[in-house]
Structure 1
Amino acid sequence: MSSNTINIAPITNKTTTKNKGDFYTVCWIKNDVLSIEIDKVVYKNISNSIFFLNSRIDWKITKKNTTNSSGYVLYLPKAVLDNPLLSQLHINEVVLFSANEIPKISLAPGIEKRIQAILEMLDELLGSHLKHKDDAIISLLNTFFVYCDGQCNIKSIISESSTKKTIVYKFKKLVDKHISECHEVSAYARLLNISNSYLNECVKEILGVKAMQIITEQRIMRSRHELKFTNKSVKEIGFEMGFSSPDYFSYFFKKHTGITPSALR
């Protein structure tokens, strides 16, 4: 597969429409987008979402009249998912580009920054003449799909409307905002004005895991970032993440990662 058959473009115009050709299309909607029209049906409130569209679907993105980029549109030839590195991905098993369904992924808070970085690197590579760039592009696509398949993201079919999905998305946003001080499911249930059991039921049904696993994952992710990319001491990071002592922070971190905070650093 040649990288010349892959194309990517930022969403900068007021209106972006489908390119001609037999391509799969991945639309990452970042912000400032008013709507996406898919086969003459208009969908709004779609910020921080990714849509997977096959070549038979007509679509149009309408954004606010600003010059800022509001995401990316990525065009992939059908053969790209047959690449050995991509073909075995779990996400392919759900047939992302099904003819009868329009898969949508609502990204977990914070993941959009990683998605943006990956797509920006793809854009840069596609316009370069670097050696082995095709291998690098496939590697980035693999990373992109792995992030899309993350358990904290909400995967759905665009035609569906679910109260439970809304609750789970609000829960994840609250976790991202309050993870330093709120570490119990009950705290988030109170903020959402629902019972602990119903919050667990929603998270289990939509994400396949318990609510506490989302809280734990966020604490670990935030701690890993602070350990790798700041000069704060292990003690400082532990206290910022709400641990009562450095020893308990080390115990918790090792239990869930297999290594101590000091070893990671």
Structure 2
Amino acid sequence: MEQESIKISRIVAKTTAKQNEDCYAVCWIKNGAEAIEINKKQYKDVSNAVYFLSPDLDWKIVKEDATASSGYVLYIPKNILNHPIFKNLHITQVRLFSVDEIPKINLSPGIETRVQAILEMIDELLSTNLKHREDAILSLLNTFFVYCDGKCNIKSVITDKNAKSTLVYKFKKNVDQFVTQNHDVGFYANSLNVSDKYLNQRIKEVLGVNAKGLINEQLIMRSRNSLKFTDKTIKEIGYELGFSSPDYFSYFIKKNTGHTPSQIRMS
């Protein structure tokens, strides 16, 4: 990888526009942006989304103000995507950078902070002359694609309105906020004014999994994080995550991961 082959810039100015005619652009818009304009057509509701834009497209991101960063734009030359490190990624096999359809991914709530950290590290590395810098950047870019390829992200193509994806995204945001208090699908369906059946159908259509599966995934992710990176007891973690007893928490973890909480902690 050549020293300046990948570039990254923060979305700070009121207008961030295409800079490189020969590069793919990956735009991660965190918040504070009004719209993304692609080939002179504006699309709203752009926060918490990753857009994959081919070199053939003219685009710009319009912000409300320039007081804070609203994410990052990665510029990736075509030859980089041919690197062997990316060859087994499903996300490249489905031709993510498509001219006919513009891919858009709404990240699962728990993934947002990880993506931000990855892009911040790429930004930092690009400003240094550290040994093996290029290898580290490629590895981080690969990790970024892996997170984007996660089954519980909402993958679609860019449109003005996508009611199904919007409902699923609202469900996932509610789960992120309330999962330690309520594990029941009915609670989230009621909060969105839909039936359990309708919510499950829409989630199945968009993500290929059911609502309970997403709730369980969030609980498992939080459990693993607490078990590996805190000194809290298994009992404390179970109660913090809303389980009625330590035994039921251990049963849940064993059933869904194949390992006990103690085994996860020691791994």
* Same structural fold, with TM-score higher than 0.5 when normalized by the shorter chain: yes
Structure-2 separation of matches of 1:166 and 1:196? 16
Written as runs of structure 1 = structure 2, the 5 A alignment for 1:151-170 is 151-159=151-159, 161-170=161-170
- For 1:242, the equivalent position in structure 2 comes to 242
Instruction: Please identify, of 139-148 and 153-162, the stretch whose mean Cα deviation from structure 2 is larger.
Output: 153-162
Pairwise CA distance, 1:258: 2.5
TM-score (norm 2): 0.95
Question: What SS does the corresponding residue of 1:65 show, helix, strand or coil?
Answer: coil
- For 1:78, the equivalent position in structure 2 comes to 78
Does residue 106 (structure 1) correspond to residue 106 (structure 2)? The answer is yes
Assess, with a 3 A threshold, how the Cα gap between structure 1 residues 65 and 192 changes in structure 2: closer, same or farther: closer
Question: What SS does the corresponding residue of 2:109 show, helix, strand or coil?
Answer: coil
- For 1:96, the equivalent position in structure 2 comes to 96
- For 1:201, the equivalent position in structure 2 comes to 201
Contact 2:181–2:241 (CA under 8 A) maintained in structure 1:
yes
Contact 2:43–2:160 (CA under 8 A) maintained in structure 1:
no
Pairwise CA distance, 1:23: 0.3
Assess, with a 3 A threshold, how the Cα gap between structure 1 residues 169 and 96 changes in structure 2: closer, same or farther: same
Supply the RMSD in Å over aligned alpha carbons.
Answer: 1.3
In the alignment, residue 196 of structure 1 is paired with which amino acid?
A: D
Pairwise CA distance, 1:255: 2.0
In the alignment, residue 83 of structure 1 is paired with which amino acid?
A: H
Contact 2:20–2:75 (CA under 8 A) maintained in structure 1:
no
Contact 2:35–2:45 (CA under 8 A) maintained in structure 1:
yes
Question: What's the % identity of the aligned pairs?
Answer: 60
Structure-2 separation of matches of 1:224 and 1:17? 40
- For 1:134, the equivalent position in structure 2 comes to 134
- For 1:60, the equivalent position in structure 2 comes to 60
Structure-1 separation of matches of 2:111 and 2:188? 21
Contact 1:118–1:140 (CA under 8 A) maintained in structure 2:
yes
Structure-2 separation of matches of 1:15 and 1:160? 20
Contact 1:3–1:137 (CA under 8 A) maintained in structure 2:
no
Structure-2 separation of matches of 1:111 and 1:86? 20
Pairwise CA distance, 1:261: 1.6
Contact 1:97–1:103 (CA under 8 A) maintained in structure 2:
yes
Does residue 117 (structure 1) correspond to residue 117 (structure 2)? The answer is yes
Extract unaligned runs of 5+ from structure 1. Answer: none
Pairwise CA distance, 1:82: 1.0
Pairwise CA distance, 1:160: 6.0
Question: What SS does the corresponding residue of 1:4 show, helix, strand or coil?
Answer: coil
Pairwise CA distance, 1:5: 0.8
In the alignment, residue 209 of structure 2 is paired with which amino acid?
A: V
Pairwise CA distance, 1:32: 1.2
- For 2:184, the equivalent position in structure 1 comes to 184
